[in-house]
């Protein structure tokens, strides 16, 4: 995937991609996103789900900080205290720890492979759905596509299918 999209994901989801530039002895994430640009939206949506609870806790904390000593929205007369803010910060730290670390993102046999460390069943369900979506999404442009080829399998729309019969043969379920 191109550098701009790569950077965009790492900035938007810093906890998931905390190892993006870590040493190759500890992560495969140092190689970046090894697939085409067409899967950007799938990955962006997946990451949004994996990062969401932390982002929610953080927005709540930031909101309380902005309301210190003032009443909260919808609760007339109840002012936000430092204690409320401290409690919200504890929640932010708890959620931060629960965000899994992405260790590798790549294409294999025409579909996305998204590997994490310290994931929950909920995380793996989202990943499984995203990986399935990649199997019907052109890896080059993101339009609806099919898994094609023999031996070397890839997922492409009509426009981005390789220009020969061998490479255009459809991958069937039995394969
Ligand atoms: Zn395409």
Give the model confidence (pLDDT) of 116-166 as tens digits: 998 999 999 999 999 999 999 999 999 999 999 888 899 999 999 988 766
Tens of pLDDT, residues 57-116:
999 999 999 999 998 877 677 899 999 999 999 999 999 999 999 999 999 999 999 999
pLDDT at position 175: 47
Neighbours of 112 (CB within 10 A): 24
Cα of 40 from ligand 1 centre, angstroms: 13
State the distance from the centre of ligand 1 to the C-alpha of 169, rounded, in angstroms.
Answer: 16
Between the alpha carbon of residue 34 and those of residues 1, 31, 78, 111, the distances in Å are 6, 7, 51, 11
Q: How many Å lie between the centroid of ligand 1 and the Cα of residue 129?
A: 20
Asked if residue 23 has pLDDT above 70, the reply is yes
Output the pTM of the full model.
Answer: 0.89
pLDDT band of residue 167 (cuts 50, 70, 90) is low
Which helix (H) or strand (E) segment is 71 a member of? strand 71-72
Please tell me whether residue 30 adopts helix, strand or coil conformation.
helix
């Amino acid at each position: 995937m191109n550098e701009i999209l790569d950077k965009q994901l790492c900035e938007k989801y810093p906890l998931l991609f905390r190892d993006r530039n870590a040493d190759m002895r500890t992560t495969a994430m140092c190689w970046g996103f090894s697939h085409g640009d067409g899967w950007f939206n799938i990955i962006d949506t997946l990451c949004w789900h994996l990062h969401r609870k932390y982002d929610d806790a953080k927005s709540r904390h930031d909101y309380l900080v902005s309301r210190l000593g003032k009443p909260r929205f919808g609760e007339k007369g109840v002012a936000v205290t430092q204690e409320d803010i401290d409690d919200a910060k504890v929640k932010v730290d708890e959620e931060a720890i629960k965000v899994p670390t992405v260790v590798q993102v790549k294409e294999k046999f025409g579909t996305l492979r998204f590997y994490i460390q310290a994931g929950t069943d909920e995380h793996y369900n989202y990943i499984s759905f995203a990986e399935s979506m990649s199997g019907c999404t052109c890896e080059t442009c993101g339009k609806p596509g099919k898994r094609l080829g023999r031996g070397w399998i890839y997922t492409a729309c009509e426009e981005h299918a390789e220009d020969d019969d061998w490479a255009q043969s459809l991958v069937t379920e039995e394969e």
